[in-house]
Amino acid sequence: MLNYKPYLRLVICLLVLASFGEVVLAQDPHIVPLEKSTKPLHLYVQFESHPDREAVISWATTLPGKNHVLYYDTQPRDANTKQYTHRLTKIHSGAYTLEKDEKPMESYYHHAYLNNLQPSTRYYITVESDGKRLGEYSFITAPADDRDVMMFIGGDSRLGADRVEDDNARRRMNTVMRKLFEKSPGIIALAHTADYTNSAHWSQLYYWLKDHFEKTTTADKRLLPIFPARGNHDMDIGFEEMFWWPNRQNDYYYTANINKNTAIVILNTEISINGDQRVWLEKELQTLRPKKRWLGALYHRPAYPSVRAYEDGESRRRAWVPLFEEYKLDLVSSGHDHSMKRTLPILNVKADANGIVYIGDGGLGVRPRDVDPTRWYLKPPGVAKSVHNVHMVDYGAEQITIKAFGIDGQTLDYFVIPLNRAARAKHYQNLLDNPN
């Protein structure tokens, strides 16, 4: 006779798992019904290769709407749409892709691409969907000349499902950025080193955008633009729906020209780092290096990790680091490890006064992980801390100044990179000789 017992056990197990799954889904505090409206939500600005003249202005609505408009001007118009000099009606709109359980959050994206902007100029904007508006906000384009330019560099802002509370670490880090942004109007954007949310689903991206809009926008309503990079938690379609760019040249790798003499090559660690991307990188560095005072790189997974195994960085150390060294990059940034780091200057996989400093490693809201400060490249004068953090980088005429800030706004690190190569080697050697 057949023994049904094992089958019965299996069926019971499956039933228990299924009901557990239901419970988990039902308990996801991110998923709440959104009020149906065409009122614009979560205005944000995206920069890419030419932030002195191009930007994408984006918002969302919970009803599809029919008529979406961006009004913009170099003078404030107090959201009086009749007074704005420019009006853009060619808006790229569509429905956010939703998982079954996300249906109560049904939403639509709207992206307005501008390519005729003036550099270092404040633009006052109002967006409208079927007559509903959000009020007037503004953003400032990047310089096209040689003036100092500042930028936040930071990433890993994902939260656990239990962390939608008002004072979560991401919102606190956004507040730290806002206060710095208000004090330093020369900051042009946040270069995000990726991993925005746990997964790129709308029920999570919604809160990322909400937090960014509510907490990084200054008291005088200046928006903090974003240079996006893609990480391992950003692989769902929602990321592409949120960070749309017309005729994107590559798969989320590009050069951000942040003033006349400064370029940051933003790479994608989630696709082949050899092949087309490496060919592109080499060509780009070859073209840029003779023209740029400052040349940097930024991407998600580190070449010199502060938490994960040293072996984890091997592929980047083989594919990209030799190019960084050949073209003498000034600064390289990454995320992914949930910590704060500044390495020793590194050349040929050892500490060297003629080497490159690497900063990172992601701390914009995700829980910090334990660093391994005993690694050769993190020992003093290198720094490795298990803390929330954001870097503020100032690309000046004579030096790059790097400051790292923690969740209470406290300074975690300060470092300068002199332009003059002899002075830089002397400065780095001095640090290596006097590590403490």
Which residue number has the CB closest to Fe ion?
336
CB of 233 to Fe ion, least distance (A): 6
CB of 336 to Fe ion, least distance (A): 4
CB of 193 to Fe ion, least distance (A): 9
The window from 71-79, 193-201, 287-295, 312-320 that contacts Fe ion (CB under 5 A) reads 193-201
Site residues for Fe ion, window 129-188 (CB under 5 A)?
A: none
Cα dihedral 336, 339, 345, 349 sign: negative
CB of 27 to Fe ion, least distance (A): 25
Residue 87 burial (CB < 10 Å; 0-12/13-18/19+)?
middle
Q: Three-class SS string for the chain?
A: CCCCHHHHHHHHHHHHHHHHHHHHHHHCCCCCCCCCCCCCEEEEEECCCCCCCCEEEEEEECCCCCCEEEEEECCCCCCCHHHCCEEECCCEEEECCCCHHHHHHCCEEEEEEECCCCCCCEEEEEEEECCEECCCEEEECCCCCCCCEEEEEECCCCCCCCCCCCCCHHHHHHHHHHHHHHHCCCEEEEEECCCCCCCCCHHHHHHHHHHHHHHHCCCCCECCCEECCCCCCCCCHHHHHHCCCCCCCCCCCEEEEEECCEEEEECCCCCCCCHHHHHHHHHHHHHHCCCCCEEEEECCCCCCCCCCCHHHHHHHHHHCHHHHHHCCCCEEECCCCCCEEECCCEECCEECCCCEEEEECCCCCCCCCCCCCCCCCCCCCCEEECCCCEEEEEECCCEEEEEEECCCCCEEEEEEEECCHHHHHHHHHHHHHCCC
In the bound state with Fe ion, the residue whose beta carbon lies nearer, of 94 and 160, is 160
In the bound state with Fe ion, the residue whose beta carbon lies nearer, of 163 and 338, is 338
In the bound state with Fe ion, the residue whose beta carbon lies nearer, of 181 and 253, is 253
Q: Does 361 bind Fe ion (CB under 5 A)?
A: no
The Cα 60–Cα 70 span in angstroms is: 13
The Cα 317–Cα 313 span in angstroms is: 6
In the bound state with Fe ion, the residue whose beta carbon lies nearer, of 258 and 340, is 340
Site residues for Fe ion, window 200-259 (CB under 5 A)?
A: 231-232
In the bound state with Fe ion, the residue whose beta carbon lies nearer, of 52 and 195, is 195
CB of 116 to Fe ion, least distance (A): 36
CB of 357 to Fe ion, least distance (A): 21
Q: Which of 48, 136, 195, 330 is in the footprint of Fe ion by CB under 5 A?
A: 195
Which amino acid is present at 278?
Answer: R
In the bound state with Fe ion, the residue whose beta carbon lies nearer, of 195 and 284, is 195
Other beta carbons less than 10 A from residue 34's beta carbon = 16
The window from 105-113, 168-176, 334-342, 380-388 that contacts Fe ion (CB under 5 A) reads 334-342
In the bound state with Fe ion, the residue whose beta carbon lies nearer, of 59 and 304, is 304
In the bound state with Fe ion, the residue whose beta carbon lies nearer, of 192 and 336, is 336
**149 phi and psi angles, rounded to 5 deg:** -135, 140
Cβ atoms of 133 and 126 closer than 8 Å = yes
The window from 101-109, 240-248, 332-340, 407-415 that contacts Fe ion (CB under 5 A) reads 332-340
CB of 208 to Fe ion, least distance (A): 15
In the bound state with Fe ion, the residue whose beta carbon lies nearer, of 96 and 196, is 196
In the bound state with Fe ion, the residue whose beta carbon lies nearer, of 296 and 302, is 302
CB of 313 to Fe ion, least distance (A): 13
The window from 74-82, 86-94, 213-221, 328-336 that contacts Fe ion (CB under 5 A) reads 328-336
CB of 157 to Fe ion, least distance (A): 11
Total of chain residues touching Fe ion, rule CB under 5 A:
4
In the bound state with Fe ion, the residue whose beta carbon lies nearer, of 19 and 232, is 232
CB of 181 to Fe ion, least distance (A): 25
CB of 337 to Fe ion, least distance (A): 8
In the bound state with Fe ion, the residue whose beta carbon lies nearer, of 111 and 233, is 233
**Helices 202-216 + 169-183 axis angle, to 10:** 30
The Cα 408–Cα 406 span in angstroms is: 6
CB of 339 to Fe ion, least distance (A): 12
Q: Which of 336, 388, 391, 427 is in the footprint of Fe ion by CB under 5 A?
A: 336
Binding residues for Fe ion (CB under 5 A): 195, 231-232, 336
